[in-house]
């Protein structure tokens, strides 16, 4: 019996200029190194069938499953602020869409499966290191409760890819609620193809925002909805210390999922200016810049929709501007509410943003670890004896003490008891994040020593980020000085 994917493809039914039909390029000897069994079940796929030589061939692009309609999607995009009218899936191929157990349509895409008409000078391939990085960070994000693409499988191809040196090649099976990006809209807008923009917008509304279909001005409502989801998403990133690294418009999903894990990283010490990506020399995509960049990307999205808004261009621009004007408010509301939860506040007061800022400022000035500060604060909230553990994260422990006095005064005005507060705080302040030095270590083990045990272990830990897991306490630790990873690489 063959592996069965219950495909129901809609993107491949769009007009021909939306994509190129192209099959994956077979590889010599694929080997499955990771299968996400719970996700397979959720997608209504049979994990036992996938976990077979035939499954490995499918997940490596060597064999096409029945019902697949493989395509490379066309898109454009602003990369570091510069517009490129044609990017597209240069090393990814969409096999098709399935409906998951929740009734949600999901793309099943192979990343690293060979060249496409959009490959330009690239080889269409991916190296094992970046595939494992994307696997682990996307699954960690999902476990943290942040909208994201998922990873269904990783296979090694048995072939090398040539980067600075030859590296083992790999294919990631990525699952997304769709791979439609701001850059997909830009592709048609840049060609003055208003019918294409409209067709895409209709597809997106039907797929991601079905409630808007009946609204009086569906395209305006679409802009509002995408703005709201991006504002909420970036707020969640900031609240866990995540830095995307390459927030180009082609890496900005219309569904509001985190997409395209390249040189992304979680910060250890709190620093709003933190940048990890080796290609981000100007700090355009620094941690603290992410809300501003999201708005910039959404502005590019709004520009694409203008022809659908009103015949009168000035009126269309004014409408788009007023929608974009709500981003800051929506982002702030989500971010401040998240900070309140991190501090154990159930109610809102005008002075709360100032209180939260006071802590963040002290953390930045004292190189405090972002994740551990909030995690330990959860215990200090129940018992002031926990203060010492928080203090020790600050270069000058007194910096925390001064702030803690204000915090406790504020907590005294809260209706909940300390035990409830502690539990609520522990549910939003993770103990475990994919720390960069740990991600690098599991990549080295897998790539240099063909040892995937550390990768498996890290995945296990990150599956329950809000639980203490004493047996894995070492994964909570920030890097020692010599372990610190200061740069991450795209790995294209």
With beta carbons less than 8 A apart as the criterion, state whether 75 and 189 touch.
no
Provide the minimum distance between the beta carbon of 125 and ligand AMP in the complex, in angstroms, as a whole number: 6
Report the residue closest to ligand AMP, judged by CB.
122
Q: Of how many residues is the chain composed? A: 492
With respect to Mg ion, which residue has the nearer C-beta, 11 or 335? 11
Q: Is 107 in the site for ligand AMP (CB under 6 A)?
A: no
- The first and second tokens of residue 281, run together, are 């020399």
492 touches, from Mg ion, ligand AMP, none (C-beta below 5 to 8 Å by class) = ligand AMP
One of 58, 87, 189, 238 touching ligand AMP (CB under 6 A) = 87
Query: What is residue 284's three-state secondary structure?
Result: coil
Q: Is 162 in the site for ligand AMP (CB under 6 A)?
A: no
Helix extents (H) in 113-246: 128-144, 182-189, 194-208, 218-240
> Which residue in the list 89, 250, 268, 369 is annotated as catalytic?
250
With respect to Mg ion, which residue has the nearer C-beta, 139 or 260? 260
With respect to Mg ion, which residue has the nearer C-beta, 148 or 366? 148
With respect to Mg ion, which residue has the nearer C-beta, 261 or 370? 261
Provide the minimum distance between the beta carbon of 183 and Mg ion in the complex, in angstroms, as a whole number: 8
- The first and second tokens of residue 143, run together, are 């476990």
Q: How many residues bind ligand AMP (CB under 6 A)?
A: 17
> Dihedral through CA 300, CA 305, CA 311, CA 312, nearest 10?
-30
Show contacts with ligand AMP in window 216-275 (CB under 6 A). Answer: 246, 251, 260, 262
184 touches, from ligand AMP, Mg ion, none (C-beta below 5 to 8 Å by class) = none
d(CA 316, CA 26) in angstroms, rounded, equals 48
With respect to Mg ion, which residue has the nearer C-beta, 73 or 445? 73
87 touches, from ligand AMP, Mg ion, none (C-beta below 5 to 8 Å by class) = ligand AMP
- Interface residue list for Mg ion (CB under 5 A): 251, 260
Q: Is 89 in the site for ligand AMP (CB under 6 A)?
A: yes
Distances from the Cα of 8 to the Cα of 43, 44, 64, 114, 135, angstroms: 12, 13, 15, 24, 25
376 touches, from ligand AMP, Mg ion, none (C-beta below 5 to 8 Å by class) = none
Judged on CB neighbours under 10 Å (0-12, 13-18, 19+), 323 is: buried
Q: What is the DSSP string of 23-64?
A: PPPP-S--EEEEE-HHHHHHTT--HHHHSSHHHHHHHTTSSP
Query: What is residue 421's three-state secondary structure?
Result: helix
Q: Is 134 in the site for ligand AMP (CB under 6 A)?
A: no
With respect to ligand AMP, which residue has the nearer C-beta, 249 or 429? 249
Q: Is 426 in the site for ligand AMP (CB under 6 A)?
A: no
d(CA 44, CA 219) in angstroms, rounded, equals 33
d(CA 358, CA 195) in angstroms, rounded, equals 51
Nearest to 377 by CA among 428, 433, 434: 428
Q: Is 81 in the site for ligand AMP (CB under 6 A)?
A: no
Residue 108, strand partner residues: 96, 175
**250 counts as catalytic:** yes
With respect to ligand AMP, which residue has the nearer C-beta, 252 or 269? 252
d(CA 193, CA 125) in angstroms, rounded, equals 31
The region of 3-11, 100-108, 123-131, 364-372 touching ligand AMP under the rule CB under 6 A is 123-131
β-pairing, 126-127 with 166-176? antiparallel
The region of 122-130, 227-235, 399-407, 451-459 touching ligand AMP under the rule CB under 6 A is 122-130
The residues of the shown chain that bind ligand AMP, judged by CB under 6 A, are: 87-91, 118-119, 122-125, 246, 251, 260, 262, 490, 492
Catalytic residues: 250
């Amino acid at each position: 019996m063959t592996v069965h994917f219950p495909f129901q493809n809609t993107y491949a039914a769009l007009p021909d200029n939306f994509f190129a039909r192209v099959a994956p390029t077979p590889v010599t000897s694929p080997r499955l190194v990771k299968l996400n069994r719970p996700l397979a079940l959720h997608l209504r796929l049979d994990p036992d069938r996938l976990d077979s030589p035939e499954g490995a061939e499918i997940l490596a692009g060597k064999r096409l499953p029945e019902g697949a309609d493989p395509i490379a999607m066309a898109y454009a995009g602003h990369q570091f602020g510069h517009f490129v009218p044609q990017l597209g899936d240069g090393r990814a191929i969409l096999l098709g869409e399935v409906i998951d157990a929740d009734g949600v349509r999901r793309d099943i895409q192979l990343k690293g499966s060979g060249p496409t008409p959009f490959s330009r000078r690239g080889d269409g391939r991916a190296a094992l290191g970046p595939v494992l990085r994307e696997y682990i960070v996307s699954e960690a994000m999902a476990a943290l409760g942040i909208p994201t693409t998922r990873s269904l499988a990783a296979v090694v191809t048995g072939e090398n890819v040539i980067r600075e040196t030859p590296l083992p090649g790999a294919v990631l099976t990525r699952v997304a609620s769709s791979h439609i990006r701001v850059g997909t809209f830009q592709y048609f807008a840049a060609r003055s193809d208003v019918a294409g923009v409209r067709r895409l917008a209709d597809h997106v509304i039907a797929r991601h925002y079905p409630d808007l279909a009946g609204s009086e001005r569906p395209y305006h409502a679409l802009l509002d909805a995408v703005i709201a989801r991006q504002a909420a998403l970036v707020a969640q990133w900031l609240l866990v210390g995540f830095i995307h690294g390459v927030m180009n418009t082609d890496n900005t999903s219309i569904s509001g999922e985190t997409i395209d894990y390249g040189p992304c990283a979680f910060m250890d010490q709190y620093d709003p200016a933190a940048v990890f990506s080796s290609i981000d020399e100007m700090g355009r995509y620094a941690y603290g810049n992410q809300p501003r960049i999201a708005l910039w990307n959404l502005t590019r999205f709004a520009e694409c929709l203008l022809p659908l808004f009103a015949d009168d261009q000035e009126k269309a621009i004014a409408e788009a501007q007023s929608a974009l004007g709500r981003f800051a408010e929506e982002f702030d509301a989500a971010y401040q509410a998240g900070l309140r939860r991190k501090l154990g506040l159930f109610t809102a007061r005008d002075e709360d943003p100032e209180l939260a800022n006071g802590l963040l400022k002290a953390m930045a000035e004292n190189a405090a670890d972002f994740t551990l500060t909030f995690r330990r604060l959860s215990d200090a909230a129940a018992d002031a004896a926990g203060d010492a553990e928080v203090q020790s994260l600050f270069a000058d422990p007194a910096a925390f003490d001064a702030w803690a006095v204000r915090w406790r005064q504020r907590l005294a005005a809260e209706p909940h008891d300390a035990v409830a507060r502690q539990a609520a705080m522990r549910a939003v302040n993770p103990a475990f994040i994919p720390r960069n030095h740990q991600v690098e270590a599991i990549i080295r083990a897998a790539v240099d020593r063909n040892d995937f045990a550390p990768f498996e272990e890290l995945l296990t830990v990150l599956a329950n980020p809000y639980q203490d897991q004493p047996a894995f306490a070492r994964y909570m630790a920030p890097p020692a000085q010599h372990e610190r990873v200061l740069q991450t690489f795209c790995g294209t």
